[in-house]
């Protein structure tokens, strides 16, 4: 698992850790019941405080991505991964709809939005 933390990012470090672990889970790098590094070990590896790492683990546990067994460690939990992905997909589509409506209100034309979508999905470079 390769998590990259940027101290100059707008995102708090604990969110960057969460994103890195989620990405590893979604991409299949981390599988169900894989053990994660201890809070202290991950904090040391990433050069962040243990409090930051603990916050990321707590959030991930609340979201259903990991679970902790006292005295044994923290493990990946993917049994509800499809449900989590479906819920996130619905949330993202609702957000996309709101952003599209806002774009329309401020005068962004449909063709511009279509070019952006094509660029992202088609892998095109800036034109």
Per-residue pLDDT of the chain (127 residues; tens, 9 = 90+): 889 999 999 999 999 999 999 999 988 899 999 999 999 999 999 999 999 999 999 999 999 999 999 999 999 998 877 887 888 899 999 999 999 999 999 999 999 999 999 998 886 555 4
Residue in 29, 27, 42, 28 with CA at minimum distance from that of residue 73? 42
pLDDT value at residue 83: 82
User: Which residues fall within 8 angstroms of residue 83, CB to CB, at 6 or more apart?
Assistant: none
pLDDT tens, 45-79? Answer: 999 999 999 999 999 999 999 999 999 999 999 88
- HEC string of 30-62? CCCCCECCCHHHHHHHHCCCHHHHHHHHHHHHH
pLDDT value at residue 82: 82
Of how many residues is the chain composed?
A: 127
pLDDT value at residue 71: 93
Distance CA 53, CA 47 (A): 10
Residue in 73, 12, 77 with CA at minimum distance from that of residue 39? 73
Distance of CA 57 to the CA centre of its chain: 13
Cβ(42)–Cβ(1) below 8 Å: no
Count of alpha carbons within 13 angstroms of residue 124, beta-carbon side:
10
């Amino acid at each position: 698992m390769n998590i990259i933390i940027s101290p100059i990012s707008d995102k708090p470090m604990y969110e960057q850790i969460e994103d890195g672990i989620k990405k590893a889970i979604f991409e299949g790098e981390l599988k169900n019941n894989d053990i994660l590094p201890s809070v202290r070990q991950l904090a040391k590896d990433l050069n962040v405080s243990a409090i930051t790492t603990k916050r990321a683990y707590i959030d991930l546990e609340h979201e259903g991505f990991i679970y902790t067994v006292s005295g044994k460690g923290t493990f990946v939990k993917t049994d509800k991964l499809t449900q989590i992905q479906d819920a996130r997909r619905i949330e993202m589509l609702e957000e996309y709809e709101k952003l599209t409506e806002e774009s329309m209100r401020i005068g962004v034309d449909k063709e511009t939005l279509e070019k952006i979508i094509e660029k992202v999905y088609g892998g095109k470079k800036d034109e």
